[in-house]
Amino acid sequence: MKKLIIALTLFTSLPAFADKAAESYKLGLIAVKEGNVEAAEQAFKEVLRLQPGHANARFQLAELKQNQGSIAARQRSKKMGEYVIAQVDFDKVELSEAVAALAVMIEQKSEGKFAPNFMVQDPSSQFGDATVTLQVKNVPANAVLDMMLKQAGGIAKYEQHAIIIKPVPRSKE
């Protein structure tokens, strides 16, 4: 009789575990989409704790391990769009100085919680003479960066730990 009561108790709690596992799985997928590797990993591990045979959660954990750099880069890109810069007033400022100033603005806006970690790669010194003139108000940081790079002829590549800035490759004619 005692075994029957335990079995019934377990049987009635299975739907609750399934619901919790499904909810955790959804949260994990949302975290992946937002680029939050740690939250996604935690959610998928919770799914496996509740349902050890959950094949999709196992697959997602494996994908996380393999693609964590690109997922984290997505989060860095998203963060740049979250910080709205109140005012930018650059008048013929060298690109390197403008990038450094933007980094300071972002760090101040985030209260020190986010650093864009800009890294300028300019082996041919194409950016050496590039200047930026930009006057905007209340614009997301990623849009400010895009405007600056468009003027200077550069591109940005978001990576896990930094934003790489380099000249647009010129076509060989």
Mean pLDDT of 82-96: 95
The backbone torsions φ and ψ at residue 148, rounded to the nearest 5 degrees and listed phi first, read -65, -45
Contact criterion met (CB below 8 Å) for 29 and 41 = no
Q: What is the rounded distance in angstroms from the CA atom of residue 150 to the CA atom of residue 128?
A: 15
Q: What is the rounded distance in angstroms from the CA atom of residue 76 to the CA atom of residue 172?
A: 32
Q: What is the rounded distance in angstroms from the CA atom of residue 79 to the CA atom of residue 106?
A: 10
Q: What is the pLDDT of residue 60?
A: 93
Q: What is the rounded distance in angstroms from the CA atom of residue 62 to the CA atom of residue 24?
A: 17
Architecture per CATH, domain 83-167, reads as 3-Layer(bab) Sandwich (3.55)
- The yes-or-no answer to whether 2-74 and 83-167 have a common fold is no
**In the chain, domain spans:** 2-74, 83-167
Contact criterion met (CB below 8 Å) for 95 and 154 = yes
Most confident of 15-19, 27-31, 136-140: 136-140
pLDDT in tens, 104-135: 999 999 999 999 999 999 888 777 778 999 99
Fold of 2-74: 1.25.40
Is the model's pTM score more than 0.75? Answer: no
